[in-house]
Amino acid sequence: MESKAKILGHPIHPILITIPLGLFVAAVVFDLIALLTGEGTFARVAFWNIAGGIVGGLVAAIPGAIDWANIPSNTRAKRIGAFHGLGNVAVVALFAVAWWLRRDDPGVVATAPFVIALVAIGLGTVTGWLGGELVERLGVGVDEGAHLNAPSSLSGLPASAQAGESLREREVGS
């Protein structure tokens, strides 16, 4: 099933999810460094990484929801996509709670927000696997006719065409 939210021929959702994913993981790493070193600067970096991850997660959800809405009903992909999307909303919500709890003193790694962030990372691992299941196993977001010698997405040709085939050759052949 081909993605409906694309830019330059590529699905937008998998491009955007790298932002919150990286920021959330980095936040936990910076919090760990802050806990090990006692240096509040690392905790403040984590705090702002969480803020950026929340914004990035909300932005990435838009093309994800567009793609999910176009998955045919009563399919395994629709169910997996619902768990993936709702789980990721929960991940963003958990990080939002962790961020909110830290807002008065972002230079300190308090126990509750840190544990919430760890739970969110664990849930994000599951939802990430579900996203992989959608693409790699169920073909969601994959161009119809995709193959190992498909032409560039910038060529204007469908994925089912052969690499090196021109648009003119394609039109003449049909």
Separation CA 35–CA 37 (nearest Å): 6
Are 104 and 21 members of one domain? yes
Taking residues 76-84, what's their average pLDDT?
A: 96
At residue 162, the pLDDT reads: 79
Strands (E), 8-153: 10-11
Are 115 and 128 members of one domain? yes
Which amino acid is present at 62? I
Separation CA 43–CA 1 (nearest Å): 42
Taking residues 28-49, what's their average pLDDT?
A: 97
What's 5's DSSP letter?
Answer: S
Query: 170 pLDDT exceeds 60?
Result: no
Residue 1: inside a domain: no
Separation CA 91–CA 97 (nearest Å): 10
* 19: containing domain: 6-142
Are 125 and 153 members of one domain? no
At residue 74, the pLDDT reads: 96
Are 74 and 137 members of one domain? yes
Q: Which residues are bridge partners to 10 per DSSP?
A: 7
Are 152 and 69 members of one domain? no
Are 80 and 124 members of one domain? yes
* pTM: predicted TM-score of the whole model, two decimal places: 0.87
At residue 165, the pLDDT reads: 61
At residue 159, the pLDDT reads: 81
Are 96 and 45 members of one domain? yes
Give the chain's domain count. Answer: 2
pLDDT band at 4 (very low <50, low <70, confident <90, very high): confident
Sign of CA dihedral 23, 24, 26, 30: positive
Are 90 and 129 members of one domain? yes
Residue 131: inside a domain: yes
Residue 156: inside a domain: yes
Please provide residue 145's backbone torsions phi and psi, each rounded to the nearest 5 degrees.
80, 10
Residue 91: inside a domain: yes
Are 128 and 166 members of one domain? no
In the structure encoding, which two tokens stand for residue 145, read together?
């006719």
Are 158 and 128 members of one domain? no
Cβ contact 24:121 at 8 Å: yes
